[in-house]
Amino acid sequence: MYKNIAFEKAMSFAKSVSYPKAGEKPHGAAVRPAITISRLTGAGGHVIAAELAEFLQDRVPGDQPWTVFDQNLVEKVLEDHNLEKRVADAMSEEHKSMFADLVEAIIRKHPSAWTLVEHTSATILRLATMGNVILVGRGGVVITSKLPNAFHVRLVGSLEKRIEYGQRVYGVDREAALNFIKKRDEGRKRYLKDYFDVDVDDPLLYHVTINTDLMGYEEATRMIGDEVIRRFNLDKALKVASS
């Protein structure tokens, strides 16, 4: 693995940003958290992210609405870095080999995967710095790891339950759902390892890991939301702002 220079610059910037520490009473403007969600395929990442945004918007409304960046993160990266829409096809979390990436970049005349990861890292960091965002996947847990306003969640579940979810949502048979899940999970694992040199399954990356077999989406949403509100004193900040 060679060094991702843009990512290192992003980390340098993250360290220089001044925030109140978690649990400290914010001075002036309230802390705006950034929540990252890492997930196994079929463990409810998209659903919980959407429900969490609604939960927090309802409980602690403010001048900046809560926003989920999931599939739409690609569109934001293209906008931030003036990239053509056709580049979106190359921005999957399913990482290719370096040789395949180089050949594709030459033939299709778009930035290499490494360059796109650099752009994605910069956009994720900017969004997280602004706060009141929920960032799903794409190394968000690593990119924002130095930001005191970040809260990291990992969603897991048994393979069998996730296969059932895939069959129900996508209307495919068991074998197709299994192959889809394995391909997605392996791709995401390689993405984090190859570009950020971390193991996505490392529990030390996250504030909380939730098994959605044992905890339903609604309960998981409420648990995450309540902890974010408590950790960053959002309810107290709201009372101060409204008084």
Identify the structural domains of the chain with CATH numbers, from first to last.
30-237 (3.40.50.300)
For CA atoms 21, 24, 27, 33, give the dihedral sign: positive
* Strand order from edge to edge, sheet including 34-39: 67-69, 133-136, 34-39, 150-156, 208-211
Residue with the bigger pLDDT between 36 and 130: it is 36
Tens digits of residue pLDDT in 61-112: 877 889 898 876 656 655 654 554 444 444 454 544 443 444 344 334 455 5
Residue 78: predicted pLDDT: 58
Residue 12: predicted pLDDT: 52
Please count the other Cβ atoms lying within 10 Å of the Cβ belonging to residue 12. Answer: 10
Q: DSSP code of 31?
A: P
Q: Is the pLDDT of residue 5 over 60?
A: no
pLDDT, average across residues 195-205: 94
Residue 76: predicted pLDDT: 60
Q: DSSP code of 90?
A: G
The residue type found at 91 is: M
The residue type found at 132 is: N
Q: DSSP code of 55?
A: H
